[in-house]
A and B are shown apart, each in its own frame.
Chain A
Amino acid sequence: MMKLAKKDILGIEEMTADEISLILETAESFLEISTREIKKVPTLRGKSVINLFYEASTRTRTSFEIAGKRLSADTINIAASTSSAVKGETLLDTARTLEAMNPDIIVLRHSVAGTPHMLARMVKQSIINAGDGAHEHPSQALLDMMTIREKKGRIAGLKVAIVGDILHSRVARSNIYGLSRMGARVVVAGPATMMPRGIERMGVEAFTTIEDAIAGADVVMMLRIQLERQKQNIFPSLREYSHHYCLSRRHMKLTAPDAIVMHPGPINRGVEISPDIADDPACSVILDQVNHGVAVRMAMLYLLSGGNE
């Protein structure tokens, strides 16, 4: 149980509660390194980590890069916009080319669900899924669970409400898998156009109003509205969306008294969360999430790198 018997980390769906706990506990020990004057340990010296990002990302890519560097791995970033993808090379050819340079871990983000899984079968390197389409975003769910565990002391038995565009959210899916497996009760809320059909089969309760979902919740997780989705006519206007689903002060009376508010970022202030809630240190843990993100990604790189031959 003390080692992660996996070549890749592709999603939370295929992870056991023990594996999730191992990653979270390891990450908790890594937190302290980021507070040192010398924020670096020699553990992954000589290992190379390639961040291969086919989708725009600042925080996840930076977080993986910092995580690798704090463990002394060499990190190389490849963004699709500057890579041979624009010259027409297929993902597989790119991966084979990278494989020939012998990296140890490839961190992949791609807009098509299942891409990291395909790559994992094709190359011998460890693959970490940094987000694939609307499918999974395991490192985000792990850092969210780490934040909940730190603030609440546990995950089991808590009520967690996830609010927003559930349909297009890989953050929501990974969190639903992870939080349910760790024993939390998960409810979701969002406009009917943003609610996947059959969501109940994932073991969650679905509501169409934010008020119903957050009643008595210990954790409120707001999702980012992807502004570009508006063109797909799934919501009439930002104003209407925010009128119904923007988390504001009045909602905090409905939750459990010591509820925490989370957001994966980047925030659209005033659309899904009002600024006074986002900036309120009494409930908002948004910046803790970012801090924990580095530690969780260090744990993922570390556990995939050692003791798995």
Chain B
Amino acid sequence: MNNRPKIVMDSEGIERCLTRIAYEILEKNKGMDNLALVGIRTGGIYLALRLQKRISAIENKKIPMGILDVTLYRDDVAKTSKKAPLGKTDIPFDLTDKKVILVDDVLFTGRTIRAAMDALIDFGRPKMIQLAVLIDRGHRELPIRADYVGKNLPSSLWEAVSVNLLEKNGKDEVVIEEGS
């Protein structure tokens, strides 16, 4: 079997997706009143930062952005053996009555998003929560869907999809490979 990683999206592709999503967010919400971005650790942070830059440039006004670590809200804290170090959560604005756009790199089972929604609601009562992802790879285990999708990427359960970003991995690309 072919074990080589396959690049399914390059740097330009990622940039174009984010530009489109930025416009879609503004179109759907009719501007940026009451809008806020929340990036999910870690990939979601960088994507949210890039969306923040774009939306703020289009509207000439800075859109608030927060960072969320959902580890403490996961349903598998005691079971998973691969544990990422707990990161900081930083939401420097009041969520109450805000329209919150959750941003993540890959939408897969939906469990991360479930945890993120629980976490957000502990911070206040947002008027609405929407979801933006760069990649939707399917295989949902919960009734969750994204409002903004960069690319739908049909994948097998044994494949691994990784979004590499300049800020974190030194280059921008989306890679799919056989899981180990």
B122 contact from A25, A36, A44, Cβ within 8 A: A36
Contact code string B90-120 (vs A, CB < 8 Å = 1, else 0): 1000000000000000000000000000110
Assess the A32–B90 pair: CB atoms within 8 A: yes
Chain B minimum-CB-distance residue to A104: B78
Chain-A contact segment, one of B69-77, B131-139, B153-161: B69-77
Contact call A26/B85, Cβ cutoff below 8 A: yes
A305-B77, A306-B78 given as contacts; is B88 within 8 A of A2 (CB)? no
For residue A29, CB closer than 8 A to chain B, the reply is: yes
Q: Decide if A36 touches B78 in the complex (CB within 8 Å).
A: no
- Residues of chain A within 8 A (CB-CB) of B87 are 29
Interface residues of A in 48-64 (CB under 8 A from B): none
A-B contact pairs, 6 of them (CB 8 A): A28-B88, A38-B123, A41-B119, A42-B118, A306-B83, A309-B79
Nearest Cβ on chain B to A59's Cβ, whole angstroms: 24
B86 touches A306 (CB 8 A): no
Q: A32-B88, A42-B118 are in contact. Are A309 and B81 (CB under 8 A)?
A: yes
- Whether A29 and B86, one on each chain, are in contact in the complex, defined by CB atoms closer than 8 angstroms, is yes
Smallest beta-carbon distance A4→chain B, Å = 9
Which residues from chain B contact A245 at a C-beta distance below 8 Å? Answer: none
Extra inter-chain contacts (11) besides given A37-B124, A306-B77, CB under 8 Å: A2-B82, A2-B85, A29-B86, A32-B89, A33-B72, A36-B123, A42-B73, A43-B77, A307-B77, A307-B79, A307-B83
The number of chain B residues touching the other chain, given as a range, is: 20 to 34
A38 contact from B80, B83, B122, Cβ within 8 A? B122
The prevalent SS among residues of B at the interface is: loop
Whole-angstrom CA separation of A220 from B90 in the bound complex: 32
Distance in Å from the Cβ of B24 to the closest Cβ of chain A?
31
- Given the known inter-chain contacts A2-B83, A38-B122, please indicate yes or no for A305 contacting B78, CB distance below 8 A: yes
Q: Chain B residues with Cβ under 8 A from A25's Cβ?
A: 85-86
What are the residues of chain A within 8 A of B73 when measuring CB–CB?
41-43
Does A177 lie at the interface of the complex (its beta carbon under 8 Å from any beta carbon of B)?
no
> Are A29 and B78 touching (Cβ within 8 A)?
no
Say which size band chain A's interface belongs to.
20 to 34
Q: Which residues of A contact B89 (CB under 8 A)?
A: 29, 32
Chain A 261-309 interface residues, beta-carbon cutoff 8 Å to B:
302, 305-307, 309
Cα(A44)–Cα(B77), bound, Å? 8
A195 CB to nearest B CB, Å: 39
Bound: A42/B89 CA distance, A: 15
A22 located at the interface, meaning its Cβ lies under 8 Å from any Cβ of chain B in the complex: yes
Which B residues touch A309, using CB under 8 A? 79, 81
**Which of the residues B83, B90, B119, B123 comes within 8 Å of A3, measured between beta carbons?**
B83
Candidates B82, B86, B118; contact of A26 at CB < 8 Å: B86
Residues of B contacting A40 with CB < 8 Å? 122
How far is it, in angstroms, between the C-alpha of A215 and the C-alpha of B69 when the chains are bound?
43
How far apart are the CA atoms of A41 and B79 in the complex, in Å? 17
Most chain A CB inside 10 Å of its own CB: which residue of B86, B118, B124: B86
Q: Chain A 58-84, CB within 8 Å of chain B: the 1/0 string?
A: 000000000000010000000000000
Query: Is the beta-carbon distance between A307 and B78 smaller than 8 angstroms?
Result: yes
**Known: A38-B122, A42-B72, A42-B73. Contact between A307 and B90, CB under 8 A?**
no
List of A residues within 8 angstroms of B85 by Cβ: 2, 22, 25-26
Complexed CA–CA distance, A36 and B77 (Å): 21
Task: Return chain B residues, CB-CB under 8 Å to A305.
Answer: 77-78
Bound CA span A28–B90, Å: 12
Residue among B77, B87, B124 having the largest count of chain A Cβ atoms under 10 Å: B77
